[in-house]
Amino acid sequence: MHDQLFWFFSIAMLLSGLLVILGRNPVTSAMFLVLSLFFMAGLFVLLEAYFLAIIQILVYAGAVIVLFLFVIMLLDLKTENVRQFKRFGVFGALVVAGALAWKLTSVVSAVLAAAAKPVVGTTEAMGKLLFTQYLLPFEVTSVLLLIAMVGVVVLSRKETK
């Protein structure tokens, strides 16, 4: 049961991920992104990382993609008719994809070598990890978000003088 579900979730996730970039309609792409996030949450559940699964849905599917849709609708993006490939764009994409793949393989091999200990992904365990071992990255991330927020406020403020 566990294995079948794993294959179902991963294949479905990859398929909907593909449809995100293949779809011509921006809204359809966004909706498939939601779907793929859902299947990813399913994978997290299989790993017993319930907190992560729920946060995935709550934050990404529930808020971030809604904002995507918001922007898509406000900009009134019409269906793309002609897809233009630019040589530089293709080159850049290949470089980024290669770098990502290289990094991913190294991470995956490292994890496999460490023979993942069973970690129960409860909220308490998650919170303890965040506030002890990963406190610095956690705080740095929040400061980063704060900077982004302040930046947005400054940019959107009207000149009064």
Partner 1 sequence: MEAILIHLIKIACVLGVVLFICAYIVLVERRVCAFIQDRLGPNRVGIPLWIRKDGSAITLGGKWALGQPLVDACKSLLKEDFVPAHVNKLYFWLAPMLAMSPALIVFAVIPFGSKLFGESMILADVNVGILFVFAIASFTVYGIMLAGWSSNSKYPFLGGIRSSAQLISYEICLGLSVIPLFMQVESLKLSEVVTWQSNHLWLICYPWNWLPALIFLASSFAETNRLPFDLPEAEQELAGGYNVEYSSMKFAMFFMAEYTSMIAASALMVTLFLGGWSLPFVPATGGVLVGLAHICIFLAKLFALLFFFIWVRWTLPRFRYDQLMGLGWKVFLPLALLNVLIVAGVIILGWVK
Which residues here bind partner 1, judged by CB under 8 A? 27, 31, 34, 50-51, 54-55, 57-58, 61-63, 66-67, 69-70, 73-74, 122-123
Kindly state the smallest distance separating residue 47's Cβ from partner 1, in Å: 14
Q: Is the dihedral of CA 142, 143, 146, 151 positive or negative?
A: negative
The answer to whether the Cα torsion of 34, 36, 39, 43 is positive or negative is negative
> What is the nearest approach in angstroms of partner 1 to the Cβ of residue 62?
3
CA separation for the pair 23, 16 (Å, rounded): 10
Nearer to partner 1, 43 or 69 (CB): 69
* Rounded least distance, CB 20 to partner 1, Å: 16
Q: Which is nearer to partner 1, 103 or 128 (CB)?
A: 128
The Cα 43–Cα 49 span in angstroms is 9
CA–CA distance, 155 with 138 (Å, rounded to integer): 26
Shortest spacing between CB 99 and partner 1, in angstroms? 33
